[in-house]
Amino acid sequence: MTDAVVIPGGRFGPGAPLLMYAGDVAEQRGATVHRYSWSQEFPKPDQPEIESWVGGEITPLIDTISGRPLLIGKSLGTNAAAIAAEKALPAVWLTPLLTLPWVADALGRATAPFLLVGGTADKVWDSDLARRLSPHVLEVEGADHGMYVPGPLTESIAVLSRVVVAVEEFLDAIG
């Protein structure tokens, strides 16, 4: 693996824990990690225009990378699934927006392997769809969109550990 592009969600940047650690997994495997931050305020995240907006933000960075980078995106960043499908790029999608038809459609067109990570308490997660789209799925019972679970905070920290293991296993599986 030569490069990985970390694509943030809408509320936090590429240094948020899920993204930070997923990128670190790629880095430990020799990847140069590019942690992207949005250059401007994004349009409404539940409208189809968001897909082309994300593409306009991310594609210039991807185009500077030789080879096939790994994409690692969270929530809003999963609108880059169309780019992954178009360029046959492997990906890790954290809390993907599976209820948005254009994201689900792009994931369905993908030819490169991808990991989907979500929780059963997340309104944009669809368990059945996730399993139809990819054999690589981590679903956490009770986890919300931030991958927090009810109970002590240490339980949510344990979820973060499970996500790291899933990313490690996925990257090992795809070589």
Q: How many domains does the chain have?
A: 1
pLDDT at 42: 76
pLDDT at 22: 97
Tell me the CATH number at 58.
3.40.50.1820
pLDDT at 10: 86
pLDDT at 1: 64
Within the chain, what is the greatest distance between any pair of CA atoms? 44
H helix count then E strand count, the chain: 6, 6
Which residues of the chain fall short of a pLDDT of 70?
A: 1
- Answer whether 122's CB lies under 8 Å from 143's CB: yes
Which residue range(s) make up the domain with 72?
3-174
Rounded CA-CA distance 114/71 in Å is 9
